[in-house]
Structure 1
Amino acid sequence: MSTIFDQVRQTGRAGVTTTGRRALLVAGAAAGATALAACTSPPADGPRRPNAAEVEAERVARAEAALRLRSVTAARGLLERYDATLAAHPALAARLAPLRRAVAAHAKALGEGGTTVDPAPGTTTASPGPASPSGPAGASPAPAPASGRPAASPTPVRVATDPRAALKELAAAERTASDGHAAALLTAPPEYARLLASVAASGAAHVYLLTEGARA
């Protein structure tokens, strides 16, 4: 009789021991899975990496801003040429003043969409201010550099002492700017491309007026 009771008690202890071991194993596995998930999951308040679409959108925005900055810089360089020519040859004011006003309007329009994008943290950028369409015949404001550092003093524009030669120089500058705007059409977004095409066509008309006017 005692033997039977002893067997029952031993069987009970074995059952409890086996069940306890299984419970411990299950609990340990669950704790390990939770710890692994905590190690591999990004923190809720940490920085989020941009997805492919966001990276591409930023690339396109920066490329467009760089294109706009090049276009504005070219237009302002041409405007400086007009100002220097007018300062050297005031007698040409009646002929050049209407063309200068058009070039100043082009410089302003080309920069209206913005020439920078939001900088990354810890960096600074600067966008050139709008050109003055009705400023004096002196030098026009120089564009601020994209790096945000102060701009160096611009090199004075040299103008030929002969009025006809000065007009030829101005026509060459118009042609260079017009060709640059036309080349930028290949990578410009549609709306800006239409503006570039209009400015390039106007520049070509200015070249004709300057060259034909010089012969008169």
Structure 2
Amino acid sequence: MRRTGLTRRRALAMAATAAGAPAALAGCSGSGPGGGERGGGSRPSAAELARRAEVALRRRSAGVSGVLLAGYDEVLGAHPALGARLSPLREATARHVAALAPSGEGGRGAASPGASAPTAPGPSGAPAPTASAESGAVAPDPAGTASAGSGSGAFPRGVPAEPGAALAELAALASRTAAAHTAALAGAPPELARLLASVAAAGAAHAYLLGEGGGA
């Protein structure tokens, strides 16, 4: 009988120990409700992700128009006599940069000639990598003295010395800018898409006015 009593006590003790073990283990491993998420930040909401994507797209689009703005500044610096023809188009481009930029960043350096801008977009309309890690911009070359292949300013090979050729280069840049904004429409929310479409149409108009449509 003594053996039976002892065995029973041991069995009860073992049962009690086993009953408390899962709770203890759960507390140590953090596998209880929400335990696996402790120490980590919450994931951004879909609305926040959409906001970040729009801000990034606005920055890229403002940079693309900023290249055209720098192009106007470079041509005006090299050919001041073209001021009457180019100044209204330049000012319209400055307004585009300000409108496209994210809230609080609009128009940084866009209102005054000589504003810095990213490297000019290539034939596909996509801007090339920028030269400054801090500002994402490189200074334009107002005098049009950028050396061939230097990659600086809106015209890496420099502004042509002949005014007609300079206008042709500027017209081509305006056309690429319009194409870049049109390509960005696919990933833009409705309000920004309408703005991009408007700016793209304006860029196409600039290309026309700077080319044969603008007269000699």
The counterpart of 2:61, out of the listed 44, 49, 71, is 71
Structure 2 unaligned blocks of 5 or more: 119-129, 140-151
What are the superposed Cα offsets for residues 136-172 of structure 1, whole Å, 9 maximum, x if unpaired? Answer: 3xx21346x6995466754244211111111111111
Equivalent position of 2:112 in the other structure: 135
Q: Check the 8 A contact 2:55/2:102 in 1, yes or no.
A: no
Shift of 1:29: 0.3
The counterpart of 1:96, out of the listed 86, 98, 103, is 86
Structure number with greater Rg is 1
Question: Aligned ranges for residues 1-216 of structure 1 at < 5 Å?
Answer: 10=1, 13=2, 16-41=5-30, 46-48=38-40, 50=42, 54=44, 60-113=50-103, 130-136=107-113, 139-142=114-117, 149=134, 153-154=138-139, 155-156=152-153, 157=155, 158-212=158-212, 214-216=214-216
Shift of 1:210: 1.4
RMSD across aligned positions (CA)? 3.1
Higher helix fraction: Structure 1 or Structure 2?
1
Which aligned runs of 4 or more in structure 1 are off by greater than 6 angstroms? none
Q: Check the 8 A contact 1:167/1:214 in 2, yes or no.
A: no
- Evaluate the alpha carbon distance shift between residue 148 and residue 46 of structure 1 in structure 2; reply closer, same or farther with a 3 A threshold: farther
Q: Aligned pairs, how many?
A: 187
- Evaluate the alpha carbon distance shift between residue 147 and residue 65 of structure 1 in structure 2; reply closer, same or farther with a 3 A threshold: farther
TM-score normalised by L of structure 2: 0.72
- The one-letter code of the counterpart of 1:84 is E
Shift of 1:73: 1.5
TM-score normalised by L of structure 1: 0.72
Q: Check the 8 A contact 1:104/1:131 in 2, yes or no.
A: no
Equivalent position of 1:7 in the other structure: none
Shift of 1:38: 1.8
- Once residues 162 and 29 of structure 2 are traced to their aligned partners in structure 1, the CA distance between those partners, rounded to angstroms, is 76
Shift of 1:85: 0.6
What are the superposed Cα offsets for residues 155-213 of structure 1, whole Å, 9 maximum, x if unpaired? Answer: 24421111111111111110000000001001112111111111001111111211245
Shift of 1:62: 4.7
- Once residues 176 and 213 of structure 2 are traced to their aligned partners in structure 1, the CA distance between those partners, rounded to angstroms, is 19
* % identical equivalent positions: 45
- The one-letter code of the counterpart of 1:28 is T
Structure 1 unaligned blocks of 5 or more: 1-9, 115-127
Moved more, 96-105 or 27-36: 27-36
Q: Check the 8 A contact 2:66/2:117 in 1, yes or no.
A: yes
- The one-letter code of the counterpart of 1:81 is G
